[in-house]
Amino acid sequence: TAGGRTTDLDLIAELLVTSTRLGRENVDRGELKLVNSALKELRHAFAVFAPYRHVRKATVFGSARIRDGDPAYLAAREFGAAMAGHGWMLITGAGPGIMAAGLEGAGTDNSFGVNILLPFESEANEFIANDPKLVNFRYFFTRKVMFMKESHGYALLPGGFGTMDEAFELLTLMQTGKSALAPVVLLDPPGSTYWEHWQDFIRQELEAGGLISTADRALVYATDDPVAAAEHVRHFYDTYHSMRYVGERLILRLERRIDDDELRYLNAEFADILEDGRIQRCEASPAEIRDGDEVDRPRLALRFDRHAHARLRLFIDALNDATPG
């Protein structure tokens, strides 16, 4: 088609068929409006983010009630500035408080606002209002899709029910393999016990009760230093780049080649996460070549058991911690 792609016509046809079926089935007007609005929101958001597809982005979550000058506000602002210094862009919910602080630190040119339209809080903060990288959402679920789809790392600061919702959904998606693994930082301002007490609850109630595994706590990193928080996020991608499944194999794309000694260590230390076989170096698969998907990068392949995602996070940490220099 003129100005568009022809390689995905099968999926476009499915979208049209699904839309037609909605119109022919017993779906009321309210349900049609929900589907229509959600699809429009996602289409627009995809278009806004598309030019920045190859730029790393970190999301900051936290309370809208935090005032400018509060230690948590200052911590979020410093984190945003540190991430921009690493060449990253920042995503927040575009509201006041922690959301404004992160964008203030990163600067408008390095920021996205993913705003939720609420009766009591719909105006975007001054650091992203009227910027083309501001996206407004009616639905929380479409907004969450964009947070998770576009982010390569997360910083969570003190917040209320919304922050808890975002924290637990994020960890649930990573624990179950429904979202790509990424660094998650619990950032307390100096002197705060917010995340310390949260972690106490996780250990004393969830872990002690057998409701999560001990390894699951490796999905988060806690600090009261915004610069250390930013460095933790950046460091996650020192050696590791990205992953995808090709058939039954999990393929990890890397920033550098893993040598023989490292490979022996990884096979000895992480044999428990394998369905069978060994961790091996490999070349780009035909599927990756077809998709033009990071074809030139070094790779590791493994038959991951698709269960021990927290241990897989530790595997990535081991890759990064062995980075030369």
Q: Is the pLDDT of residue 123 over 90?
A: no
Q: Using CA atoms, how far apart are residues 293 and 155, in angstroms rounded to an integer? A: 28
What is the tens place of the pLDDT at every residue in 276-285? 999 999 999 9
Q: How confident is the model at residue 323 (pLDDT cuts 50, 70, 90)?
A: low
Per-domain boundaries in the chain: 9-41, 53-235, 240-321
Which residues partner with 90 through β-bridges?
A: 58, 111
Global pTM reads: 0.93
Please count the CA atoms within 13 angstroms of the CA of 53 that sit on its side-chain side: 5
- Mean pLDDT (whole number) for 93-104: 97
What is the tens place of the pLDDT at every residue in 224-233? 999 999 999 9
- Mean pLDDT (whole number) for 6-28: 90
Q: Residue 151 carries which DSSP code?
A: -
The residue type at 321: D
Q: Using CA atoms, how far apart are residues 143 and 93, in angstroms rounded to an integer? A: 9
Q: Are 236 and 316 in contact (CB under 8 A)?
A: yes
Decide yes or no: CATH 3.20.20.140 for domain 53-235: no
Q: Are 113 and 92 in contact (CB under 8 A)?
A: yes
What is residue 7's predicted lDDT score, i.e. its pLDDT?
A: 72
The residue type at 97: G
Lowest mean pLDDT among 110-124, 224-238, 240-254, 304-318: 110-124
